[in-house]
């Protein structure tokens, strides 16, 4: 019996707009200003560095800003930058939440399902994402594995979350958009898992979170 549902955040409950603007626009802008080079060349350099790092195995440094401060030789004031992105988006009445997210969280809550958020988003990003969407109130537990557990979402990490919350892995259904971090890893920990693919290209995946309501 499913007692708890855990969700990934980015690409699952909300879109990735904040991260995209931060990493693909604001970081190159900052590098361009700092080193007095054009935005275009700073952007090209940043994209190359991201791709290079992406080819290596990801560790927690990938998600924080320190590694990138060193890579680009810049000073990143992440909280301030994220807040500015939020304010700009709000001015344009843009939100990051997917259309069905609130309805699904509310309905699961009504059914007395324990809700857990398990994300790679670091606390600086997480704070703004929660403020923008107001979804924090639905969760019994919110964990940034990077900030709170100093770990990427691996099997050990999922096992520990189960242990600490007195849940057997088989009592949890995890939903996320990464085959590795949201399917393979929780599966290794003995959890039930479900891939969300909003483009519907992957077999055995769901396209919309509403489908979760049929399963629990």
- Of 44, 101, 100, 95, whose CA–CA distance to 72 is shortest? 44
Q: Catalog residues that contact Mg ion under the rule CB under 5 A.
A: 8, 10-11, 177
Of the pair 72, 98, the CB lying nearest Mg ion is at 98
Distance CA 216, CA 212 (A): 7
Q: Which residues of 104-113 are buried (b: 16+ CB within 10 A; e: fewer)?
A: bbebbeeeeb
Residue with the CB atom nearest Mg ion in the bound state: 11
176 close to 195: Cβ distance less than 8 angstroms:
yes
Comparison of 140 and 180: residue with beta carbon closer to Mg ion:
180
User: Min. distance of Cβ 50 from Mg ion in angstroms?
Assistant: 17
The two tokens of residue 18 are: 């904040």
Residue 101, C-beta contacts closer than 8 angstroms, at least 6 positions apart: 13, 14, 133, 135, 209
Cα separation, 136 vs 129, whole angstroms: 9
Contact between 4 and 139 (Cβ < 8 Å): no
CB-CB contact of 181 with 120 (8 Å): yes
Least Å distance between CB 70 and Mg ion? 25
Q: Are 116 and 109 in contact (CB under 8 A)?
A: no
Nearer CB in complex with Mg ion: 10/124: 10
CB of 32 to Mg ion, least distance (A): 29
Nearest distance, CB of residue 40 and Mg ion, angstroms = 29
Nearer to Mg ion, 11 or 64 (CB): 11
32 vs 194, which CB is nearer to Mg ion?
A: 194
Report in angstroms how near the CB of residue 6 gets to Mg ion at its nearest.
Answer: 12
* In the complex, least distance from residue 178 CB atom to Mg ion, rounded to whole angstroms: 5
Complex with Mg ion: residue 72 or 147, whichever CB lies closer: 147
């Amino acid at each position: 019996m499913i007692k708890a549902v855990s969700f990934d955040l980015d690409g699952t409950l909300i879109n990735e707009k904040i991260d995209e603007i931060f990493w693909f626009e604001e970081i190159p802008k900052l590098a361009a200003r700092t080193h007095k080079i054009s935005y275009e060349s700073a952007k090209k350099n940043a994209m190359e560095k991201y791709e290079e790092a992406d080819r290596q195995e990801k560790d927690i440094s990938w998600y924080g800003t320190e590694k990138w401060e060193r890579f680009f030789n810049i000073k990143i004031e992440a909280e301030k930058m994220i807040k500015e992105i939020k304010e700009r988006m709000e001015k344009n009445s843009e939100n990051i939440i997917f259309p069905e997210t609130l309805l699904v969280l509310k309905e699961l809550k009504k059914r007395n399902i324990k809700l857990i958020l398990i994300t790679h988003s670091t606390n600086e990003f997480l704070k703004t994402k929660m403020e923008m969407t107001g979804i924090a109130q639905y969760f019994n537990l919110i964990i940034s594995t990077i900030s709170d557990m100093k770990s990427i979402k691996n099997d050990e990490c999922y096992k520990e979350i189960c242990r600490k919350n007195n849940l057997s892995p088989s009592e949890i259904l995890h939903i996320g958009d990464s085959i590795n971090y949201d399917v393979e890893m929780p599966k290794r920990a003995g959890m039930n898992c479900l891939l969300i693919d909003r483009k519907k290209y992957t077999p055995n995946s769901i396209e919309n979170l509403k489908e979760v309501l049929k399963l629990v």
